[in-house]
Structure 1
Amino acid sequence: MNTAHQIKRGVSFYSYQEEYFLRKMSLEDCVREAAAIGAFGVEIIPEQSITGYPNPGEDFYRQWNGWMEKYGTTTVATDLFIDTKRYPGRTMTTEEAAESVRRDLDIAKRLGARHVRAIINTPPEVMEACASYAEALDLKLLLEVHAPFHYEHPWILRHLEVMHRLQSPALGFMPDMGTFVERFPRVMSERALRDGARPHLVELAVETYNNHGDVHGLMDTFNYMGANPVELGVARIATFMTAQDPRSMLEHMPYIHHIQAKFYEMTDEGVEYSIPYEKIIPVLIEGGYDGYLSSEYEGNRHIQDIYEVDSVDQVRRQHLMFERLLGEDRTIDVAAAAAAGGSNV
């Protein structure tokens, strides 16, 4: 595999949400841990992680900048949400939504970020209304491409029309690698079994998905078979996930500036169980991608009923995989990093 590239490694602090919520990790711990594994590009969700959001105060920004300098990290991206149903009985107007986005763009600028993730439900009209504002701040406002959406989906095509028409350097994509799920995540199917799903229905959903069968008929099929709510949830998951070809990114690479490297389970063998990074990373290299792979661990919610979640270990494993696939010479010694204070977990 060609390993000549400029791809860099980072972490979305969404990955550490379990430990952060339980106060096992502080925000500084998240920064420290990312640096310890060589993931120097950090991605933060202000609404989730910043006390006092959207107005944390000058002391917070000074502290944040101090951490970036102390640990040698860079704020690469922030994630914004947009609650279009905030007001009872009506949807936000375009201008109200745009004002919400501009507020988050201001926060991103103060944090030193380069990219801002616009959640998938952000209307194209809002992206258009905010493009010039993002340009003025020298930020890129990037639409999340998240399952079950893909580059041929009508919603994404509407956004592409805006991007092509405006030709604004501020607009682009932030693909979520959860659009390339080749195998039904076993952390999800095993959780369903523990929650009361019958094995034959779980097996049907998993086999249908893995064999690229008619997942859209599963909900009706499960209804006819007297499925319980947990089983219907498994069928719903199968319709929500997608197994797109990673090469679908190549046509749109000029608009792709940041990657959310979704993963559900890093195995003892050093691979992601469901998402074929061994196919994804060569595509990114071929396309000349030079941004960050930002870890986004989402397996926590599916195992927390039976195991103590160790997001730190899972993220470390993913970065060992990244090092191998990216052809990096240096190998992280996880035990040494922990001994050196990489995390307090």
Structure 2
Amino acid sequence: MSFSYGVSLYSYTGDMHTVLTLDDAMAEIADLGATGIEILGEGNIPGYPEPSAEWIDAWHARCAHHGLTPTNYGSWIDTSLWHDRDLTADEGAAMLARDLGLAATLGFTFLRPKVGVVSHDLKPHPVWEGVVERNLDRAAELGIVICPEIHAPTPIRHEVVDGYLAFLERTGTKNFGLLIDTGIFQRAPVTAKHEVLPHVVFIQAKFFDIDADLTDATIPWREILTTLDEHGWSGWLSSEYEGDRAPYRSLEQVRRQHALLRSIEAELRA
């Protein structure tokens, strides 16, 4: 077992609109002792999808200065872009190819493609399979793993996940995997999750509130980390705070989460 800790800039959404610059956020992440940074392409890159060369150079300089590794790049495939028709697989593939190139330029090794959904349980538009398959060679060339997100209210045992697993089996690719958002564990027990764990390449450590005693009444962190430990999972746990966006609150909340996760990990290692 080996956990690496990072933070999604989405955690600081409210504060980055009021009190934090990108440099401030990166310094905060580094001060936590975290080493990974996750971004949303459209939300965090000025001039997206064509940032200036100066910004790209500054991004790499900031990462080096703060000792941060770019982890997961959030990409959007807008299947509802047109009012009179759905996006085609070729059009979606072009969007994903564009973001794969930008993610690679910025040093990311994972990319989460958020495809439009067609149901309340977040079944992705059928175009997803063609969009991803057309980009598997490009992802391999760039050293990036494409990882769609399993997000509440979709449970692990669901036709959406079955579709992703079937895609993996059919293609045999090493450039596709699953991203688990821990928000799915608000209602479901964390048992027997190892059935898909070998295919989980990234974990967004979603949470909403942790009190001053480091108690999270919503997400069962001890059970999650114990399951990961029991099955020898290694990889990134990237904080994604989605609670109250009052100024400065996200800073304290992410610190509490990292303290909680590290204390549980220390107990497991002992």
Distance in 2 between residues matched to 1:165 and 1:322, nearest whole Å: 36
**What is the one-letter code of the residue matched to 2:13?**
Q
* Cα RMSD, aligned residues only: 1.6
1:247 paired with 2:218, answer no
Does residue 267 (structure 1) correspond to residue 211 (structure 2)? The answer is yes
For 2:260, give the aligned amino acid. M
Q: Report the residue type matching 1:139 in the other structure.
A: I
SS across alignment from 1:246:
coil
How far residue 266 of structure 1 moved from its aligned partner, in angstroms, is 0.8
Q: What SS is found at the alignment partner of 2:2? A: coil
Question: 1:82-129, CA deviations, whole angstroms, 9 ceiling, x for partnerless residues?
Answer: 210001211100111111111111111011011111226452332222
1:326 pairs with 2:226 = no
Map of 2:172 onto structure 1:
167
Give the counterpart of 2:133 among 128, 135, 142. Answer: 128
- Identify which of 307, 312, 319 aligns with 2:251: 312
Distance 2:249 2:227 in 1: 30
Contiguous gaps of at least 5 residues in structure 2: 117-123
Match of residue 13, structure 1, among 6, 9, 15: 9
Taking every aligned residue pair, what percent have the same amino acid on both sides? Answer: 32
Instruction: Name segments (4+ residues, structure 1) moved above 3 Å.
Output: none
Displacement of 1:149 in angstroms is 1.1
Distance 1:120 1:90, change over 3 A: closer
SS in 1 for 2:177: strand
Q: What aligned pairs does 1:223-242 form with structure 2 within 5 A after superposition?
A: none
Matches within 5 A, 1:109-148: 109-119=104-114, 121=116, 123-148=128-153
Higher radius of gyration, 1 or 2: 1
Q: What pairs with 1:1-345 in structure 2 (closer than 5 Å)?
A: 5-22=1-18, 24-119=19-114, 121=116, 123-181=128-186, 243-301=187-245, 304=246, 308=247, 310-327=249-266
Q: TM-score, normalised by structure 2?
A: 0.91
Structure 1: where are the runs of 5+ without partners?
Answer: 182-242, 329-345
TM-score between the two structures when normalised by the length of structure 1 = 0.72
Contact 2:78 2:115 in 1 (8 A): no
Per-residue deviation, 1:309 = 5.0
Contact 1:271 1:318 in 2 (8 A): no
Deviation at 1:300, TM superposition (A): 2.5
Moved more, 249-258 or 69-78: 249-258
1:240 is aligned to none
Q: Is the 8 A contact 2:75 2:99 kept in 1?
A: yes
Q: How far off is 1:248 after superposition?
A: 4.2
What CA deviation, in whole Å up to 9, does each residue of 1:49-78 have, x standing for no partner? 111000002111110110111111110111
